[in-house]
Structure 1
Amino acid sequence: MKTEPRKCRRRKSRASERKRAKSSSLKWKLFRAKEPLLSVFMWGVNHSIDQLMHVPPPGLLMPDDFKAYAKDIMPSHYKVKEYCPNVFRNLREQFGVDQYEYLRSLTSYEPEPEPVEGSKGDFFFSYDKKFAIKTMDSEAVAELHSVLRKYHEYVVEKQGKTLLPQYLGLYRLTIDGSETYLIVMRNVFGRKYNVHKKFDLKGSTVSRAASDKEKAKDLPTYKDNDFLEQNCKLHLPAEAKQQLLEMLASDTAWLSNMHLMDYSLLLGIHDCDRAAAEAASKPLEQTSEESADELAPTPPDSPIPSTAGAFPAISGGPDLDDEFYAISSSSNSEKPLVYFIGLVDILTYYGMKKRTATAAKTVKYGSDAENISTVKPDQYARRLVEFITRSLS
């Protein structure tokens, strides 16, 4: 039997290497964005999901899965590190997020930057508004790692029905030697309904009002004192009201057990009558363009049905399919509304730094100290639940 000359084999090997390099280069061009960070992120998500789709999910997550990571080195020395890929794949399943949906939303079009008032990181949103991508510092990443196993256990126990942030993927991107951490979450405000008013609520009334600069914005983020001054009430059906309080009590109790505090309840309000009037006043040409924008690429048929929300749907009410955090207002509301309610920014540990801040503010505010934002986790949780309970109608 004849064997190929070594020289010929080397030539073929080089040719195959050039072919692979060319293929990699072509793949890279598919994910160009306005800035390298997003290009690398899109490439990383695409590569990660592609790899996971060729490997069956483990029947049971092991302790090592919560320490695992996958590394990819890209052209021009760009790097992507995905943390705990099997854990986040399982979390996506628990939250009803299909792999194809995740891939399409984050890579079909470039995520768009959007400033978020009071956020400790930069925000980007997928083109279809389903997912939020947030930059994190190393301290927040370490805190997420420290609670990830308990977080996963809690999500499984609640079968994904929780107001906690839905953590769907964690990545570290290295660009020209600079590292950036990104966390992917479900967007609390959903995608089909514009939010006309929003609040960041902590249950605290000390220094908790939007600034004049913030109020001058088209869509300001109001706070607790603004909520009270505007005499806001949440008009919810009885079943949804009970479910909201049960979920909030359970979630905040879990956060307290994890010694986490300084989180917020994010509230968005969609006014159905206002939305109808806005739609009627739009030129026909603009409406047609927006309808065309919705004709985005569709993934193959998903084995997972459209995501059921955390709250029961109302017969004859707005279509809240795939709007996880949405609740329709009750029939006794003055006008038809859709509320979006979820917990955000949960990764602040009540350690020495926060204890010191609590002591300093207690001295400063005296008898009003119980209303400051920096208090012990159990007190923080109880106060927020009480604030929301009083707001229900």
Structure 2
Amino acid sequence: MAQKKAAGTSNSATRRRWWNLRQQWRMLGVFEINPEHEFYQLTSMIKEGMHASCSFTPDFFSYYHCLTLALQGFVMQTFAAPVFAKLRASVNITEEEYMNSLCSDGCYLQFVSNSKSKADFFVTNDKRFFLKTQSRREVRFLLSNLQAYTDHFEKYPHSLLKYFIVMQSVFYPDERINIRYDIKGCEVGRWTDPDKEGKQIIKVLKDNNFEGQYIELGQEKSWFAHQVKVDTAFLRELNVLDYSLLLAHQPLHRDELEGKHSLDRSCPVSDAIELQEFHEHHRRLLPNFQNAVHVIDGPHCRYFVGIIDIFTIYGMKKRLENLWKSLRYPGRAFSTVSPTKYSHRFCRWIQDHTQ
């Protein structure tokens, strides 16, 4: 009898914790996609398709081609699986971790923010990966430039460009993050009122909200500014504009500060030579952290950074938008400008706001 009572108490406590977690997700703009949710069938098909695709080893696929799998009631197409597997491995994401996150028994989550994008955003149950719906044009652009992207990533293994259909979340883990920014380096339409839009939406603040603040990186400033310059130069070559820097920060704990300081101590000559060679290949020492490729530790804060939304081409539609905004906002900085001007302005913002 006592055992049954204890079990009942335990189950009750578990239900309370689960209910509190669901309430917390709702307050953060993250909603569980349970069987009653409008996207449940879609995400179930995504999960089933991902499970079927992940069941094959990358060697099974043609390197840059598509494999079509006919499943129960839908078709799953996987593009260039070995390429993406190689990219995941380069940032220390094992295939087991990838499959466990995307194909777990836990429901996906719907991410709701104040973004103007018409895309739907889903998050794996552990919040490690984002899934974003893409237009056919965006997919074609991605695949046509995949070789150039992989070449860029091999040359600059700590590039901030990491975002495709399944995206490693910049803000992972997010337990200590309460403010997020989306930076484009301009002023028109770049303000979010923190007190509006309701508590059930994740507020992503913008350039004008960041006024008077700085990204304080200390000795990491030069690396960060250089990597942003290299990444935006690559996007400029692809004729891309309108990308953003995702940014969040949190104070370093004492143990994190102590661990960081231990890296600053003098090292043997052999280690110093190896470290020099490391930097010569555009690499950097990373903090001991789950999502280290998107993390930069400054003297006092840990910053989460990443460049996203890299699919907008400066074609005729954007050229006409540029002309219209030039007439409407004379002398003001708006987002729709040539890729050359956009990248230069973006880098200047980073330089002016980093210490």
- TM-score range for the pair, normalised by the shorter chain length: 0.7 to 0.9
- CA distance, structure 2, for counterparts of residue 145 and residue 352 of structure 1: 21
CA contact (8 A) 2:286 2:293 kept: no
- CA distance, structure 2, for counterparts of residue 207 and residue 166 of structure 1: 24
Q: How many angstroms does 1:215 deviate by? A: 6.6
Q: How many angstroms does 1:247 deviate by? A: 0.7
Give, as a single letter, the amino acid of the residue that structure 2 aligns with 1:220. K
CA contact (8 A) 2:228 2:347 kept: yes
Indicate the residue corresponding to 1:40 in structure 2. Answer: 45
Identity of aligned residues (%): 28
SS at match of 1:361: helix
1:224–1:322 distance in 2 versus 1, CA, 3 Å: closer
CA contact (8 A) 1:193 1:270 kept: no
1:326–1:223 distance in 2 versus 1, CA, 3 Å: same
1:362 matches 2:326: yes
Indicate the residue corresponding to 2:249 in structure 1. Answer: 269
- CA distance, structure 2, for counterparts of residue 390 and residue 142 of structure 1: 35
Aligned with residue 111 of structure 1, among 81, 84, 108: 108
SS at match of 2:304: strand
- CA distance, structure 2, for counterparts of residue 95 and residue 214 of structure 1: 37
Indicate the residue corresponding to 1:289 in structure 2. Answer: none
- CA distance, structure 1, for counterparts of residue 113 and residue 138 of structure 2: 17
Q: How many angstroms does 1:214 deviate by? A: 4.5
- CA distance, structure 1, for counterparts of residue 71 and residue 236 of structure 2: 41
Give, as a single letter, the amino acid of the residue that structure 1 aligns with 2:226. E
Q: How many angstroms does 1:311 deviate by? A: 5.4
1:312 matches 2:285: yes
CA contact (8 A) 2:160 2:305 kept: yes
Indicate the residue corresponding to 1:203 in structure 2. Answer: 185
Aligned with residue 65 of structure 1, among 49, 63, 66: 63
Q: How many angstroms does 1:117 deviate by? A: 2.5
CA contact (8 A) 1:126 1:132 kept: yes
SS at match of 1:267: strand
1:194 matches 2:176: yes
Alpha-carbon deviations, 1:277-332, whole Å to 9, x = none? xxxxxxxxxxxxxxxxxxxxxxxxxxxxxxxxx85346xxxx524332112231xx
1:214–1:375 distance in 2 versus 1, CA, 3 Å: farther
1:243–1:215 distance in 2 versus 1, CA, 3 Å: farther
Name the stretch that deviates more: 92-101 or 344-353: 92-101
Indicate the residue corresponding to 1:142 in structure 2. Answer: 140
1:184 matches 2:166: yes
Q: How many angstroms does 1:272 deviate by? A: 5.1
CA contact (8 A) 2:250 2:302 kept: yes
CA contact (8 A) 2:68 2:78 kept: yes
Q: How many angstroms does 1:213 deviate by? A: 6.1
Alpha-carbon deviations, 1:7-62, whole Å to 9, x = none? xxxxxxxxxxxxxxxxxxxxxxxxx9631111111111111111116x478xxxxx
CA contact (8 A) 1:201 1:264 kept: yes
Indicate the residue corresponding to 2:12 in structure 1. Answer: none
Q: How many angstroms does 1:237 deviate by? A: 2.6
- CA distance, structure 1, for counterparts of residue 181 and residue 196 of structure 2: 12
Count how many residue pairs are aligned between Structure 1 and Structure 2: 287
CA contact (8 A) 2:68 2:76 kept: yes
Indicate the residue corresponding to 2:29 in structure 1. Answer: none
Name the stretch that deviates more: 249-258 or 145-154: 145-154
1:270–1:219 distance in 2 versus 1, CA, 3 Å: farther
Indicate the residue corresponding to 1:349 in structure 2. Answer: 313
What CA RMSD, in Å, does the superposition of the two structures yield over aligned residues?
2.3
- CA distance, structure 2, for counterparts of residue 213 and residue 361 of structure 1: 28
Runs of 4+ in 1 over 3 A off after TM superposition: 211-219, 310-314
Indicate the residue corresponding to 2:237 in structure 1. Answer: 257
Alpha-carbon deviations, 1:52-92, whole Å to 9, x = none? 16x478xxxxxx733x11111222x2221112222222222
SS at match of 2:88: helix
Alpha-carbon deviations, 1:116-173, whole Å to 9, x = none? 33233111111222211111122211221222121121112223x1101243xxxxxx
1:232 matches 2:213: yes
Indicate the residue corresponding to 2:21 in structure 1. Answer: none
CA contact (8 A) 1:214 1:221 kept: no
CA contact (8 A) 2:214 2:354 kept: yes
Give, as a single letter, the amino acid of the residue that structure 1 aligns with 2:345. R
- CA distance, structure 2, for counterparts of residue 355 and residue 312 of structure 1: 41
SS at match of 1:349: coil
Give structure 2 stretches of 5+ with no counterpart: 1-32, 254-282
- CA distance, structure 1, for counterparts of residue 57 and residue 113 of structure 2: 32
Give, as a single letter, the amino acid of the residue that structure 2 aligns with 1:93. A
Indicate the residue corresponding to 1:89 in structure 2. Answer: 85
Give structure 1 stretches of 5+ with no counterpart: 1-31, 58-63, 168-182, 274-309, 331-335
Give, as a single letter, the amino acid of the residue that structure 1 aligns with 2:54. I
CA contact (8 A) 1:111 1:124 kept: yes
1:391 matches 2:353: yes
